[in-house]
Chain A
């Protein structure tokens, strides 16, 4: 079977077409999902791509979380469907309370676009099984509201439960607490991160590396073997 992975487009989403392409390169079928549709078209997993949905007005992700499509996604995510939030998608997942914490304005107050080194802290999620824990990867990072923040107890819990999935290496580009670049829910099916794996899937494009491809192959393997 071919895995079918949904890619949501909110008004202001930017990386939807790139994410669809990455899913295709990884060997699955990308299914466009529209924010006004509750219908998830029977996809096996969902990616919330990056961008500036609703122009980041009010707060990044704060309006999108009320989209009809999000109601269905929250329901399915709680039932175990793999969901990945990239950048603005991560912000939406936090706003939707599928993941704890929030993103604040970068400490440098500027938009930051760079090739970012990360350490994969755990391979025990739906989206990181093809990595090895401790592996270092480089993928593009680009955001202005990327400073991950949560209260100390939440951070301690995340660490204790092995839910810190990625940490920034060499440079913490936005002041995220404990260098956190990405986290998961307790079940490991929902993952959010600020950097962009979908921009690192072809040797010629962007940074010239394919370190992001394993996000998609990880989930595809899981879905196909399920």
Chain B
């Protein structure tokens, strides 16, 4: 095969090219020709096709994502915003925290273990590239029906992959979600979050500046894995009759990544890099073009110097390869020796593959012959933008009219009791310890709270006890009923979860999982959800710092529920003040904060008891959420509350059951005036939490709520070894524990 050089491309303008097979549209190919003033070389075509794919260019979503910037709330907390590898938030005392959530959905369906493992690896490198030491991970996971045979293939593989990679990196896994719904059967959602910590002065950015600076590729050798994975995996559905264009999923090596982390942190400590970028989707194509695009000059790369695992790879394949555990650094010439020395210390292969130039072009050579000559911005930042049509689907009204309030309710106390057991033992409400016990939550010795607590809390300074809290939440059922409200409910829940542990919410990262953007109904869901989230973040004062969009999560015409997953980061000045969820002391009072209305649309009860999805999701009141958060934080800081737990899916009875089981104490509850027992136990009204308060603090606490205008109701006392609802039923903790703990192992072990 002859090498398709720039010179050759200029001489053979009419030579046919596989732009269509690479996922480009005709007008996109024409635009590339226009940018270059000739046909692209094979290598250039590879770069454009992968960088202009949905996954890398956000071409369908970016017109909507703009709102996160336009509606961003005023805040001093944001040090680096959207657009870098990850956003950076000021948490005080000179510390900055960077966090981001991403998806690895499609690869995880094909190869659950490696798909999930490399999802963790990718997000960890994003955090590392900002200059931070990664300190924790979280994994929101969604699967098909719990009892579907394929779930037994996908879930254990995904969990083993998340654990196998994260455990080996020494990153505590402090939270996440496990959700089952038939809508995810062919499209499991594997989202991964990483959080890292650094000092303000250690922030690093992905840019290549300073002519003469060296481009160093370091980490694993480049192999044939995941070639085209980005453009193809992320842009085609799993239609078995269509052409098979799904290449191999990437294979991860967490040991190599652990070396890369320690090596990179040592390089940062000695201030040896001028710019840095991890290699993820689109590999070298992405890293070189983004670094050059964000810098002031051009870049020249000798592609044949790249260390290979497979010597037969063509230059196009090397540019496309998504081999894991690689980073690319821009280093001043006099620092190169020390850089390479540190890499050698950690047994990490490092190679100078090029340098920053005075020009404005990204030029790539293969054994002396030029195969790429492009304006880097045109590859990295000036990809196509689609204004895809969107329209509220005609079935939305029917769905919303199908009110869950009309579903038959339990006829008597015995049925109510039975439904409580059904609910807390249902796959979505059951304990997920079978999953989370496969993750190391203790490593690094800073874990203050981990799942199943409302948020994960890690200490970031052992001298001052400064800590951060993180929660991720999403509810596809709510979002299906009303995407705008559903996105805000996800935000509100994560915000509430952070506050419930005593931390002040600061910032948001989101992972937007949706079906095909080519379906106007899906695009409407996306538009509504992003609008809801942007409005919500503005109202709560928590900016979106970055995130990820995953589209085409559908099989045939059946899209997943729109599933915006929202991560909220909070700060807690003194981790000793954190509030756990466990009811720890008999005799303490249980108070319900917020108002309970008859809201059952999208509820766990409607799903578990009636297999129903219809009506409207719970109403959102973001001002109320802010007030509730302030009360929870004040209560924690001033030592008034000993336990707190947010109320969300499953309602009050789910929260009480979890707090009782975790603490090993029962509760006696009284149905408040004005509510019936069923609504009291199962409603999913937002803006609520339960707290445990020592009797000596009751007055001080309720006075504070009263003065601030937050409704507070005394609903019972921590007592005995059963959950008792006066006048209705009592269920021994042992019985609740058996169904709550037994379900998932019963399905999967």
Is B243 among interface residues, defined by CB-CB distance under 8 A? no
- Given A11-B347, A55-B168, A204-B575, answer yes or no on A199-B255 (Cβ-Cβ < 8 Å): no
Is A130 among interface residues, defined by CB-CB distance under 8 A? no
**B446-A205 in contact (CB<8A):** yes
**A206-B255 in contact (CB<8A):** no
Given pairs A113-B440, A204-B576, A207-B442, 4 additional interface contacts (CB within 8 A): A111-B164, A112-B437, A142-B442, A205-B445
**B167-A15 in contact (CB<8A):** no
**A15-B443 in contact (CB<8A):** yes
**B347-A15 in contact (CB<8A):** no
Is B485 among interface residues, defined by CB-CB distance under 8 A? no
Which of B169, B438, B440, B441 interacts with A110 by CB under 8 Å?
A: B438
Is B459 among interface residues, defined by CB-CB distance under 8 A? yes
Is A22 among interface residues, defined by CB-CB distance under 8 A? yes
- Given A11-B346, A110-B160, A142-B167, answer yes or no on A22-B445 (Cβ-Cβ < 8 Å): yes
A115 to chain B, nearest CB (A): 9
Q: Please report the C-alpha to C-alpha distance between residue A57 and residue B459 in the assembled complex, in whole angstroms.
A: 32
A47 to chain B, nearest CB (A): 14
Which of A17, A21, A111 interacts with B163 by CB under 8 Å?
A: A111
Interface string of A83-108 (1 = CB under 8 A from B): 00000000000000000000000000
Is A158 among interface residues, defined by CB-CB distance under 8 A? no
Is A12 among interface residues, defined by CB-CB distance under 8 A? yes
A131: chain B residues within 8 A (beta carbon): none
Interface string of B429-445 (1 = CB under 8 A from A): 00000001111111111
B118 to chain A, nearest CB (A): 15
B258: chain A residues within 8 A (beta carbon): 11-12, 14, 52, 55
**B442-A52 in contact (CB<8A):** no
A121 to chain B, nearest CB (A): 24
- How many residues of chain B have a CB within 8 Å of chain A? 33
Q: Please report the C-alpha to C-alpha distance between residue A54 and residue B347 in the assembled complex, in whole angstroms.
A: 11
**A54-B442 in contact (CB<8A):** no
| Residues 178 to 226 of chain A near chain B (Cβ within 8 Å) | 196, 198-199, 201-202, 204-207
Is A61 among interface residues, defined by CB-CB distance under 8 A? no
Q: Please report the C-alpha to C-alpha distance between residue A110 and residue B161 in the assembled complex, in whole angstroms.
A: 11
Q: Please report the C-alpha to C-alpha distance between residue A201 and residue B445 in the assembled complex, in whole angstroms.
A: 9
- Given A55-B253, A111-B167, A113-B438, answer yes or no on A205-B459 (Cβ-Cβ < 8 Å): yes
A38: chain B residues within 8 A (beta carbon): none
A110: chain B residues within 8 A (beta carbon): 160, 163, 438
**B443-A18 in contact (CB<8A):** yes
- How many residues of chain A have a CB within 8 Å of chain B? 31
**B156 nearest CB neighbor, chain A only:** A110
B459: chain A residues within 8 A (beta carbon): 204-205
A22: chain B residues within 8 A (beta carbon): 445
**A114-B443 in contact (CB<8A):** no
Which of B438, B440, B445 interacts with A21 by CB under 8 Å?
A: B445
Q: Please report the C-alpha to C-alpha distance between residue A178 and residue B253 in the assembled complex, in whole angstroms.
A: 34
Where the two chains meet, the residues of B that have a C-beta atom closer than 8 Å to any C-beta of A are 160, 163-164, 167-170, 253-256, 258-259, 346-347, 436-448, 459, 462, 465, 575-576
B264 to chain A, nearest CB (A): 14
**A22 nearest CB neighbor, chain B only:** B445
**B445-A18 in contact (CB<8A):** yes
**B437 nearest CB neighbor, chain A only:** A113
Count chain A CB atoms within 10 A of each CB in B170, B441, B445, B448 and give the residue with the most: B445
**B255-A11 in contact (CB<8A):** yes
B463 to chain A, nearest CB (A): 11
Q: Please report the C-alpha to C-alpha distance between residue A11 and residue B348 in the assembled complex, in whole angstroms.
A: 11
Is A140 among interface residues, defined by CB-CB distance under 8 A? yes
A146: chain B residues within 8 A (beta carbon): none
Which of B439, B444, B448 interacts with A204 by CB under 8 Å?
A: B448
Which of A11, A12, A17, A202 interacts with B444 by CB under 8 Å?
A: A17
B256: chain A residues within 8 A (beta carbon): 55
**B263 nearest CB neighbor, chain A only:** A11
**B259-A206 in contact (CB<8A):** no
| Listed A/B pairs (14) with beta-carbon separation below 8 Å | A14-B168, A15-B170, A21-B462, A22-B445, A52-B255, A54-B255, A55-B254, A111-B164, A112-B437, A140-B442, A199-B442, A201-B445, A204-B465, A204-B576
Q: Please report the C-alpha to C-alpha distance between residue A98 and residue B89 in the assembled complex, in whole angstroms.
A: 48
**B163-A199 in contact (CB<8A):** no
**A14 nearest CB neighbor, chain B only:** B170
B168: chain A residues within 8 A (beta carbon): 12, 14, 52, 55-56
Q: Please report the C-alpha to C-alpha distance between residue A198 and residue B442 in the assembled complex, in whole angstroms.
A: 10
- Given A52-B168, A142-B167, A204-B576, answer yes or no on A113-B441 (Cβ-Cβ < 8 Å): yes
**B445-A198 in contact (CB<8A):** yes
Q: Please report the C-alpha to C-alpha distance between residue A164 and residue B87 in the assembled complex, in whole angstroms.
A: 51
Q: Please report the C-alpha to C-alpha distance between residue A113 and residue B258 in the assembled complex, in whole angstroms.
A: 20
**A12-B255 in contact (CB<8A):** yes
A52: chain B residues within 8 A (beta carbon): 167-168, 254-255, 258
Q: Please report the C-alpha to C-alpha distance between residue A204 and residue B572 in the assembled complex, in whole angstroms.
A: 14
Q: Please report the C-alpha to C-alpha distance between residue A202 and residue B259 in the assembled complex, in whole angstroms.
A: 28
Count chain B CB atoms within 10 A of each CB in A11, A21, A199 and give the residue with the most: A11
Which of B259, B439, B448 interacts with A11 by CB under 8 Å?
A: B259
Is A6 among interface residues, defined by CB-CB distance under 8 A? no
